[in-house]
Amino acid sequence: MREKLVAGNWKMHGNLAENKQLLSAISAGLNGLNGAKFAVCVPYPYLSSVQNMLQDTDISWGAQNVSQYEKGAYTGEVSVSMLDDFECTYVIIGHSERRTLFGEDSYAVAEKYVTAQRAGLTPILCVGETLEHREAGITEQIIQEQLTAVVNVAGIESFSKAVIAYEPIWAIGTGKTASPQQAQDVHAFIRNGIATQDINIAKELTILYGGSVKANNAAELFAMPDIDGGLIGGASLVANEFIAICRALSN
Ligand code: PGA
Protein backbone atom coordinates (compact mmCIF):
# COMPACT_ATOMS: atom_id res chain seq x y z
CA MET A 1 0.00 0.00 0.00
CA ARG A 2 1.29 3.45 -0.87
CA GLU A 3 1.51 5.06 2.51
CA LYS A 4 2.64 8.43 3.63
CA LEU A 5 5.52 8.19 6.07
CA VAL A 6 7.80 10.47 8.04
CA ALA A 7 10.76 8.60 9.51
CA GLY A 8 13.30 10.21 11.81
CA ASN A 9 16.92 9.15 11.42
CA TRP A 10 18.58 9.99 14.70
CA LYS A 11 22.03 8.94 13.42
CA MET A 12 24.57 8.75 16.28
CA HIS A 13 22.75 11.18 18.55
CA GLY A 14 20.88 10.95 21.81
CA ASN A 15 21.15 9.56 25.30
CA LEU A 16 18.62 7.98 27.63
CA ALA A 17 17.50 11.23 29.21
CA GLU A 18 17.29 13.20 25.94
CA ASN A 19 15.50 10.39 24.16
CA LYS A 20 12.88 10.25 26.85
CA GLN A 21 12.20 13.97 26.62
CA LEU A 22 12.15 13.93 22.84
CA LEU A 23 9.83 10.94 22.57
CA SER A 24 7.38 12.13 25.17
CA ALA A 25 7.11 15.47 23.36
CA ILE A 26 6.76 13.79 19.97
CA SER A 27 4.20 11.25 21.10
CA ALA A 28 2.12 14.00 22.69
CA GLY A 29 2.46 16.18 19.57
CA LEU A 30 1.48 13.40 17.16
CA ASN A 31 -1.33 12.00 19.24
CA GLY A 32 -4.48 11.78 17.15
CA LEU A 33 -2.74 12.82 13.92
CA ASN A 34 -4.09 10.74 11.03
CA GLY A 35 -3.39 10.16 7.39
CA ALA A 36 0.29 9.26 7.66
CA LYS A 37 2.65 6.93 9.48
CA PHE A 38 5.43 8.10 11.74
CA ALA A 39 8.61 6.35 12.85
CA VAL A 40 11.99 6.92 14.47
CA CYS A 41 15.14 4.99 13.54
CA VAL A 42 17.38 5.01 16.58
CA PRO A 43 20.84 3.78 17.63
CA TYR A 44 20.86 0.08 18.58
CA PRO A 45 21.47 0.51 22.33
CA TYR A 46 18.24 2.46 22.69
CA LEU A 47 15.92 0.06 20.89
CA SER A 48 14.70 -1.51 24.11
CA SER A 49 13.88 1.75 25.85
CA VAL A 50 12.39 3.26 22.69
CA GLN A 51 10.21 0.17 22.32
CA ASN A 52 8.99 0.64 25.89
CA MET A 53 8.26 4.32 25.35
CA LEU A 54 6.46 3.93 22.03
CA GLN A 55 4.65 0.61 22.28
CA ASP A 56 1.35 2.19 23.29
CA THR A 57 1.56 4.95 20.68
CA ASP A 58 0.99 5.00 16.92
CA ILE A 59 4.67 5.77 16.33
CA SER A 60 6.82 2.93 14.97
CA TRP A 61 10.53 2.44 15.49
CA GLY A 62 13.44 0.86 13.74
CA ALA A 63 17.20 0.76 13.26
CA GLN A 64 19.63 2.55 10.98
CA ASN A 65 21.55 -0.45 9.70
CA VAL A 66 21.67 -4.23 10.01
CA SER A 67 24.05 -7.04 9.16
CA GLN A 68 23.56 -8.94 5.93
CA TYR A 69 24.42 -12.11 7.87
CA GLU A 70 21.88 -14.02 9.93
CA LYS A 71 24.27 -14.87 12.77
CA GLY A 72 27.82 -15.95 13.44
CA ALA A 73 31.31 -14.68 14.12
CA TYR A 74 30.77 -11.08 13.00
CA THR A 75 32.13 -8.97 15.84
CA GLY A 76 30.27 -5.72 16.32
CA GLU A 77 27.39 -6.57 13.98
CA VAL A 78 23.65 -6.71 14.73
CA SER A 79 21.33 -9.22 13.06
CA VAL A 80 17.77 -8.93 11.80
CA SER A 81 16.52 -11.36 14.44
CA MET A 82 17.94 -9.03 17.10
CA LEU A 83 15.98 -6.13 15.60
CA ASP A 84 12.96 -8.38 15.54
CA ASP A 85 13.37 -9.07 19.27
CA PHE A 86 12.68 -5.38 19.84
CA GLU A 87 9.74 -5.33 17.40
CA CYS A 88 11.35 -2.99 14.91
CA THR A 89 9.15 -2.16 11.93
CA TYR A 90 11.76 -0.42 9.77
CA VAL A 91 15.46 -0.54 9.08
CA ILE A 92 17.34 2.02 7.02
CA ILE A 93 19.46 0.29 4.39
CA GLY A 94 22.28 1.80 2.35
CA HIS A 95 22.24 5.28 3.84
CA SER A 96 24.87 7.36 2.04
CA GLU A 97 26.84 7.69 5.29
CA ARG A 98 27.07 3.88 5.43
CA ARG A 99 28.08 3.74 1.77
CA THR A 100 30.68 6.49 1.86
CA LEU A 101 32.06 6.41 5.43
CA PHE A 102 31.84 2.68 6.07
CA GLY A 103 32.45 1.30 2.61
CA GLU A 104 29.13 -0.46 2.03
CA ASP A 105 28.99 -1.33 -1.63
CA SER A 106 25.86 -1.91 -3.68
CA TYR A 107 26.12 -5.66 -3.27
CA ALA A 108 26.29 -5.46 0.54
CA VAL A 109 23.37 -3.03 0.47
CA ALA A 110 21.32 -5.46 -1.62
CA GLU A 111 22.16 -8.35 0.72
CA LYS A 112 21.12 -6.32 3.76
CA TYR A 113 17.88 -5.36 2.03
CA VAL A 114 17.03 -8.99 1.29
CA THR A 115 17.96 -10.16 4.78
CA ALA A 116 15.80 -7.47 6.37
CA GLN A 117 12.80 -8.29 4.18
CA ARG A 118 13.11 -11.99 4.82
CA ALA A 119 12.82 -11.26 8.55
CA GLY A 120 9.66 -9.22 8.00
CA LEU A 121 11.27 -5.81 8.49
CA THR A 122 10.47 -3.02 6.06
CA PRO A 123 13.71 -1.73 4.53
CA ILE A 124 13.98 1.99 3.86
CA LEU A 125 16.38 1.80 0.94
CA CYS A 126 18.40 5.00 0.45
CA VAL A 127 19.62 6.12 -2.95
CA GLY A 128 21.15 9.40 -4.00
CA GLU A 129 23.79 11.21 -6.00
CA THR A 130 26.75 13.38 -5.00
CA LEU A 131 27.10 16.99 -6.13
CA GLU A 132 29.71 15.87 -8.67
CA HIS A 133 27.25 13.38 -10.14
CA ARG A 134 24.56 16.03 -10.38
CA GLU A 135 26.89 18.56 -11.99
CA ALA A 136 28.07 15.94 -14.45
CA GLY A 137 24.43 15.28 -15.41
CA ILE A 138 24.51 11.64 -14.32
CA THR A 139 22.05 11.73 -11.41
CA GLU A 140 19.60 9.36 -13.08
CA GLN A 141 22.33 6.94 -14.08
CA ILE A 142 23.60 6.77 -10.48
CA ILE A 143 20.12 6.22 -9.05
CA GLN A 144 19.44 3.59 -11.68
CA GLU A 145 22.65 1.73 -10.80
CA GLN A 146 21.81 1.78 -7.10
CA LEU A 147 18.32 0.43 -7.73
CA THR A 148 19.42 -2.16 -10.26
CA ALA A 149 21.88 -3.64 -7.74
CA VAL A 150 18.91 -4.32 -5.45
CA VAL A 151 16.56 -5.53 -8.20
CA ASN A 152 19.19 -8.00 -9.41
CA VAL A 153 19.39 -9.61 -5.98
CA ALA A 154 15.87 -9.11 -4.58
CA GLY A 155 13.64 -8.89 -7.68
CA ILE A 156 11.26 -6.10 -8.65
CA GLU A 157 8.44 -7.62 -6.56
CA SER A 158 10.48 -6.90 -3.42
CA PHE A 159 9.45 -3.25 -3.77
CA SER A 160 5.93 -4.19 -2.74
CA LYS A 161 7.31 -4.47 0.81
CA ALA A 162 9.86 -1.69 0.91
CA VAL A 163 10.21 2.06 1.10
CA ILE A 164 12.69 3.99 -1.04
CA ALA A 165 14.27 7.20 0.22
CA TYR A 166 15.78 9.55 -2.34
CA GLU A 167 18.50 11.45 -0.52
CA PRO A 168 20.77 13.65 -2.63
CA ILE A 169 24.08 13.49 -0.76
CA TRP A 170 24.72 17.20 -1.32
CA ALA A 171 21.54 17.98 0.62
CA ILE A 172 22.18 15.79 3.69
CA GLY A 173 23.02 17.79 6.78
CA THR A 174 24.10 20.73 4.65
CA GLY A 175 21.05 22.95 4.95
CA LYS A 176 20.77 22.78 1.14
CA THR A 177 17.49 21.17 0.20
CA ALA A 178 16.67 19.92 -3.26
CA SER A 179 13.97 22.16 -4.68
CA PRO A 180 10.56 20.51 -4.73
CA GLN A 181 10.85 20.20 -8.52
CA GLN A 182 14.37 18.71 -8.39
CA ALA A 183 13.18 16.14 -5.85
CA GLN A 184 9.98 15.43 -7.77
CA ASP A 185 11.94 14.84 -10.99
CA VAL A 186 14.03 12.12 -9.35
CA HIS A 187 11.03 10.61 -7.54
CA ALA A 188 9.17 10.41 -10.85
CA PHE A 189 12.24 8.87 -12.48
CA ILE A 190 12.33 6.19 -9.77
CA ARG A 191 8.60 5.47 -9.96
CA ASN A 192 8.52 5.43 -13.76
CA GLY A 193 11.55 3.14 -13.89
CA ILE A 194 9.85 0.65 -11.61
CA ALA A 195 6.59 1.05 -13.57
CA THR A 196 8.30 -0.22 -16.71
CA GLN A 197 8.77 -3.50 -14.84
CA ASP A 198 5.62 -3.57 -12.72
CA ILE A 199 3.08 -0.80 -12.88
CA ASN A 200 1.13 -1.84 -9.79
CA ILE A 201 4.20 -2.03 -7.58
CA ALA A 202 5.27 1.39 -8.84
CA LYS A 203 1.88 2.93 -8.05
CA GLU A 204 1.87 1.54 -4.52
CA LEU A 205 5.49 2.36 -3.70
CA THR A 206 6.24 4.84 -0.93
CA ILE A 207 9.11 7.12 -1.95
CA LEU A 208 10.50 9.48 0.70
CA TYR A 209 12.64 12.53 0.18
CA GLY A 210 15.54 13.15 2.58
CA GLY A 211 18.08 15.94 2.82
CA SER A 212 17.66 18.98 5.07
CA VAL A 213 13.89 18.65 5.39
CA LYS A 214 12.74 21.18 7.99
CA ALA A 215 9.44 22.49 9.28
CA ASN A 216 9.69 25.42 6.88
CA ASN A 217 10.21 23.44 3.67
CA ALA A 218 8.34 20.19 4.35
CA ALA A 219 4.93 21.22 3.05
CA GLU A 220 6.16 22.28 -0.40
CA LEU A 221 8.17 19.07 -0.80
CA PHE A 222 5.27 16.89 0.36
CA ALA A 223 2.93 18.64 -2.06
CA MET A 224 4.74 17.07 -5.02
CA PRO A 225 2.86 14.16 -6.57
CA ASP A 226 5.58 11.52 -6.22
CA ILE A 227 6.88 12.52 -2.78
CA ASP A 228 5.18 10.40 -0.13
CA GLY A 229 6.96 11.73 2.93
CA GLY A 230 10.42 12.28 4.34
CA LEU A 231 13.46 10.73 5.97
CA ILE A 232 14.49 13.35 8.48
CA GLY A 233 17.93 13.66 10.08
CA GLY A 234 18.77 16.78 12.07
CA ALA A 235 15.20 18.01 12.38
CA SER A 236 14.08 14.69 13.89
CA LEU A 237 16.07 15.54 17.03
CA VAL A 238 14.03 18.68 17.69
CA ALA A 239 10.53 17.81 18.88
CA ASN A 240 8.74 20.87 17.50
CA GLU A 241 10.46 20.58 14.11
CA PHE A 242 9.67 16.89 13.79
CA ILE A 243 6.06 17.36 14.86
CA ALA A 244 5.60 20.20 12.36
CA ILE A 245 7.07 18.07 9.55
CA CYS A 246 4.69 15.22 10.45
CA ARG A 247 1.77 17.64 10.49
CA ALA A 248 2.75 18.95 7.06
CA LEU A 249 2.42 15.42 5.70
CA SER A 250 -0.78 14.43 7.42
CA ASN A 251 -2.67 17.52 6.24
P1 PGA B 1 19.29 15.67 7.29
O2 PGA B 1 19.60 14.10 7.13
O3 PGA B 1 17.79 15.80 7.41
O4 PGA B 1 20.01 16.07 8.54
O5 PGA B 1 19.82 16.34 6.07
C6 PGA B 1 18.78 13.26 6.37
C7 PGA B 1 19.34 11.87 6.37
O8 PGA B 1 20.57 11.71 6.33
O9 PGA B 1 18.59 10.87 6.41
Helix (H) or strand (E) holding 6: strand 5-9
Q: Give pTM, 2 decimals.
A: 0.97
Tell me the pLDDT tens digit for each residue of 109-164.
Answer: 999 999 999 999 999 999 999 999 999 999 999 999 999 999 999 999 999 999 99
pLDDT of residue 251 exceeding 80, the answer is no
Q: Give the pLDDT of residue 176.
A: 85
Tell me the pLDDT tens digit for each residue of 18-52.
Answer: 999 999 999 999 999 999 999 999 999 999 999 99
pLDDT of residue 250 exceeding 80, the answer is yes
Quote the ligand 1 centre to 139 CA distance (angstroms): 19
CA angle 242, 53, 161 (to 5 degrees): 65
Quote the ligand 1 centre to 242 CA distance (angstroms): 12
- What's the CATH number of domain 5-241, 3.20.20.70, 3.40.50.300, 1.10.10.10, 3.30.200.20? 3.20.20.70
Q: 230 CB less than 6 Å from ligand 1? A: no
Helix (H) or strand (E) holding 192: helix 180-195
Ligand 1 closest atom vs CA 235: 3
Nearest to 191 by CA among 181, 180, 182, 200: 200
Answer yes or no: are the C-beta atoms of 21 and 244 closer than 8 Å: no
Q: Give the pLDDT of residue 175.
A: 84
Number of H helices, E strands in the chain: 11, 8
Tell me the pLDDT tens digit for each residue of 51-67.
Answer: 999 999 999 999 999 99
Answer yes or no: are the C-beta atoms of 146 and 190 closer than 8 Å: no
Name the residue at shortest CA distance from atom 6 of ligand 1.
Answer: 233
